[in-house]
Amino acid sequence: MVAGLSATGLAVARALGRRGYSVHAVETHTWEVGLRSRYVRSAATNFTSLIEGPPPHPDDRAVLFACGDPALVAVEALRDRLGPYCHLPAAPWVLDKRRLAQAASTADIRIPRTLGIDLSLSDAHGPLVVKPRFGGASPTRPFPEKARLVTSVPMDDPDLLVQELIPGPVDAIVVWAGHVGADGRVGPTVVGRKRRERPDPFGSASWLETITSDVVEAESRALVAALGLSGTLAIEWKEWAGERWLIEVNPRPVLWSAVADEVLVDAYAERAGKARPPARSVPAGRTWRYAARDPLSAPAGVDALWALDDPMPGLYGPAYTLRLLWERRRNSRF
């Protein structure tokens, strides 16, 4: 069961559908790209149909992937009702960026200074970024000067926060992804380095390649242990002055998951009680591209939308990208 059929949900549907698993979807927006995939056997607009009738035997419950912050929030609100019907993702407390910053600081993990937004911002210095406190509720926006921020952002919004900006280009961003089982065992993992993003800066990856980094692997596993995290995770770091600074933790599959679908298959297997694949790192050199959002980027081994065995999402890509841009502008809060 895939909740949220963006390009991320599409990656999950393809990874599991290609291996013969039956994929069903929950998606409020009928225009989402993953609904065009031939691997999605059925779709509902809400969870009501999942919780009608008696629950199945615990071993026969569907494995639910929440692909996107809104889907995670919706699943969390219905956790008690959905539990008898689905294997649910781990509780996503790290979506609260203020709580994550506090936990990371307590564990001596390097993270940019994170502040609530108010009229003074007296403790903020240097270039700043404004973020939604919870998940992806609105875009991240940079401000080179504090004075400009004060005149551009609503200062009484409790759902926004400010972080001091870690300098550096997009390829200073590295992301570790993997699935941590309920027993603490980590399955296959991947480290990816962003090469391009859209919008630039502070957008989502549009071109990424996998790399090998023992340091990122070790620091990510240490963070998982220090914060007691489990489930499917993506930990984003930014390299600066010879160190890595924690940018965010996503408790779900990420946009570029298709380049390392071993992680998705492992997540399914662990939660369904099946044999997990070998716990090894995805090799360096795999490449991923979101051509519909970044048509000038170089070709890559995997595309976010295009696939020869599943062509409809790619054909729909240009219209879908325009719709996403319109939705982003319509929902922006500042």
Asked whether residue 212 falls in the same domain as residue 298, the answer is yes
Q: Lowest mean pLDDT of 109-118, 232-241, 298-307, name the range.
A: 109-118
Round the average pLDDT of the chain to a whole number and report it: 91
Contacts of 155-160 spanning 24+ positions with Cβ under 8 A: 155/117, 155/118, 155/119, 156/118, 157/117, 157/333, 158/116, 158/133, 159/132, 159/133, 159/134, 160/117, 160/130, 160/131, 160/132, 160/133, 160/333, 160/334
Q: Is the pLDDT of residue 181 over 60?
A: yes
Would residue 100 count as lying in a domain? no
**Same domain flag for 179 and 299:** yes
Q: What was the pLDDT predicted at 44?
A: 95
Residues 155 and 176 in one domain: no
User: Is the same domain home to 122 and 146?
Assistant: yes
Residue 277 tokens, joined? 């694949």
Q: Are residues 183 and 292 in the same domain?
A: yes
**Percent of the chain whose pLDDT exceeds 70:** 93
What percent of the chain stands above pLDDT 90? Answer: 75
Shared-domain flag, residues 32 and 122: no
CATH code for position 289: 3.30.470.20
Q: Are residues 75 and 149 in the same domain?
A: no
| Residue 22 CB partners (closer than 8 Å, separation 6+) | 41
Instruction: Round to whole Å and give the CA distance between 50 and 59.
Output: 16
Q: Verify that 187 and 285 share a domain, yes or no.
A: yes
Handedness of CA 30, 268, 220, 108 (dihedral sign): positive
Residue 118 pLDDT grade (very low, low, confident, very high; cuts 50, 70, 90): low
- Please tell me the least confidently modeled range out of 13-17, 49-53, 62-66: 49-53
Is residue 96 situated within a structural domain?
A: no
Residue ranges making up the domain that contains 77: 2-89
* 214 touches 152 (CB < 8 A): no
In a domain, 331, yes or no: no
Q: Where is the domain boundary, 89, 122, 146?
A: 89
Q: Answer yes or no: are the C-beta atoms of 147 and 169 closer than 8 Å.
A: no
Query: Could you tell me the maximum CA-CA distance found in the chain, to the nearest angstrom?
Result: 59
Decide: 157 and 122 in contact? Cβ < 8 Å.
no
Q: 295 pLDDT exceeds 60?
A: yes
Q: What pLDDT is attached to residue 132? A: 83
